Homo-oligomer: A and B are copies of this chain.
Amino acid sequence: MTIRIGILGYGNLGRGVECALRQNPDMELVAVFSRRGNIDTLTHALSLPLDALEDYKDKIDVMILCGGSATDLPVQTPEYASMFNVVDSFDTHARIPAHFAAVDAAAKASGKCAVISAGWDPGMFSLNRIYSMALLPEGETYTFWGRGVSQGHSDAIRRIDGVVDARQYTVPVPEAVAQVRSGAMPTLSTRDKHTRECFVVAEEGADLARIEQEIKTMPNYFADYDTTVHFISAEELKRDHAALPHGGSVIRTGVTGLNKEHRHVVEYQIKLDSNPEFTAGALVASARAVYRLANEGKSGCMTMLDIPPAYLCAMSGEELRAALL
């Protein structure tokens, strides 16, 4: 019996989940739900409007929520956890505890199972921060992001007057990464760790110096970083910056031994051609785990930190122990 999946929201992430499901033969896509409904999906999957959801309560085992963290998921995940087992990729770190509480209450009330914040950060990076801290309790953990496109920072630039479009790359400082990798445990400021590189399409006649200044001094987003701004044409942006690559590293250095004389460096590193498709992989694997946990009678909210790793895999525990342990 295959796991019946629904997708809610059909942007880059929803399309990534749709494609990922074809690589997981133990799952099937029942339908894509979106505000519009009746859209052309990449794989010709059934497309339905949101008001059809109610009819699918017993026809979908896990609903994968592919909306954004700013406004969609804070509403949708608790709402749909009252009808379905759900998975989301909520990634506003500071608001995770509140989101967790809201989803947990809804899922406990309905007896459904939810996993929030699946993806790579939060997600795989969080797991690696936690594993390496558990094994090496004395030490320092460093997270580097990039080189990759930050959607949030690109959006922030687009909101500036005179900007037509923009793409922002987060770039780790190579010297900082090398220093951390050496096991040195340096103290690094925000500016030491990452630079930001912006490709901006401006309106004709716009004051480029003013735009550049507004970007570089923008609090939270750019003011604490060394930022480079390149003005390019709309054609160049489309030609050279259409992809959504990303990547990064979680590195922990820890000390052990009677006199802490031994040093260990543990690194988890990813290089992704497509950020949303890798995140989709985490959502789909988490959906499998949610299905199994729900079948065991579990309810309430969880994150990837609460999922026994074997539950993410299609193979049985026995197969995993024989082949991959």
A243–chain B nearest beta-carbon distance, Å: 9
A251-275 vs B, CB cutoff 8 Å, 1 = contact: the mask equals: 0001011100111111111111110
A313 within 8 A of B: yes
**CB atoms of A309 and B305 under 8 A apart:** yes
Give the complex CA separation of A308 and B258 in angstroms. 29
**CB atoms of A324 and B133 under 8 A apart:** yes
**CB atoms of B264 and A270 under 8 A apart:** yes
List the B side residues contacting A136 at CB < 8 Å: 278, 281
Within 8 A of B (CB), among A127-177: 127-131, 133-138
**CB atoms of A270 and B266 under 8 A apart:** yes
A110 within 8 A of B: no
**CB atoms of A19 and B267 under 8 A apart:** no
A76–chain B nearest beta-carbon distance, Å: 20
Give the complex CA separation of A308 and B312 in angstroms. 11
A317 within 8 A of B: yes
**CB atoms of B133 and A313 under 8 A apart:** yes
List the B side residues contacting A272 at CB < 8 Å: 262, 264
List the B side residues contacting A238 at CB < 8 Å: none
A17–chain B nearest beta-carbon distance, Å: 11
CB contact under 8 A between A97 and B322, given known A266-B270, A305-B309, A308-B306? yes
Within 8 A of B (CB), among A1-56: 16, 19-20, 23-24, 42-43
**CB atoms of B313 and A256 under 8 A apart:** no
List the B side residues contacting A42 at CB < 8 Å: 258
- Taking CB as reference atom, which chain B residue is nearest A305? B310
Give the complex CA separation of A306 and B310 in angstroms. 6
A280-320 vs B, CB cutoff 8 Å, 1 = contact: the mask equals: 11100100100000000000000111111110111001101
Pairs A–B under 8 Å by Cβ, sample size 29: A16-B256, A19-B256, A96-B321, A97-B322, A127-B131, A130-B310, A130-B312, A130-B313, A130-B320, A130-B324, A134-B285, A134-B312, A134-B314, A136-B278, A254-B281, A256-B273, A264-B271, A264-B277, A264-B278, A266-B270, A267-B267, A267-B268, A267-B269, A305-B309, A305-B310, A305-B317, A305-B321, A306-B308, A307-B309
> Other CB < 8 Å A-B pairs besides A124-B135, A262-B273, 15 of them?
A23-B138, A24-B137, A97-B321, A122-B325, A130-B320, A135-B281, A256-B273, A262-B272, A264-B271, A264-B273, A265-B270, A268-B269, A305-B310, A305-B325, A307-B309
Q: Which A residues fall within an 8 A CB radius of B?
A: 16, 19-20, 23-24, 42-43, 93, 96-97, 100, 117, 122, 124, 126-131, 133-138, 183, 254, 256-258, 261-274, 277-278, 280-282, 285, 288, 303-310, 312-314, 317-318, 320-322, 324-325
